Each structure stands twice: as C-alpha cells, then as structure tokens.
Structure 1
Amino acid sequence: MVRLLSQGETDASLLSKVIHGRTVKRVGRDVITAALIDVISEVDIDQSEGKRKKAESRMG
C-alpha cells in the first residue's frame, strides 16, 4: 500500500486489494474500502513516498 500511496494512488477499491489477507478476513474488504474513501490527502502521499524511499535505501 505504501508504494501505491507514494505513487499518488487514491482509489480506495484498488488500495484495499493490497491489504493483508488476515486483515481482510477479520474486518472485510468492504469495511476497509469504506475506511479509505476520501481520506487520502496529498500529505499522506508525500509521507508515504518518504517512507518508501527510506525503506528502499535500507534494502540496498
């Protein structure tokens, strides 16, 4: 999800597809999708990009 957010993705249905299976089984994909609708801001995208770059630099 961090990669998608850092790439500017805001589509809740697409973002919910990359959530871990155990989480989906526990709460349901529809709940996850509803929770992601209209809550992703530019700030979230910028922060995700920074976290992704930091993680990638640690990996090599």
Structure 2
Amino acid sequence: MSGTQEKEKDYFWFYVGGVVLAAIVVLGLVKSSEHGKYEMASKAIAVDPTQSAYFNKK
C-alpha cells in the first residue's frame, strides 16, 4: 500500500508568489495614479518656483 499512494501537490509557494505579485501590481497602480495628481502642481512650480512649499523666503 505504501507504493500506491500519490503525494498531494503542495501549492504553498504558488500562493505566496501570487500574494507577492498582487502586492507589486497594487503598489504599481497606486504609484502611477498618484503621479498624475501632482503634475499640475509640478508645472506651476516650474513656471514660478515661489509657489513651492520648500521655497526659503529670506
């Protein structure tokens, strides 16, 4: 009987890989969507640097 039993395949690493891949995709999507939010402010700062929050007024 010991030779006739099949070993069940372990999918643990497939699940871990899937979770890691999903996390990478979500982070990439969030990062790309956040980029567009600040494009207008970046253009305004390029035109007039005094609009920057990091401008040192002396």
Q: Greater CA radius of gyration, 1 or 2?
A: 2
TM-score, normalisation: structure 2: 0.34
Higher share of residues assigned helix = 1
Higher relative contact order (CA 8 A, sep 6+): 1
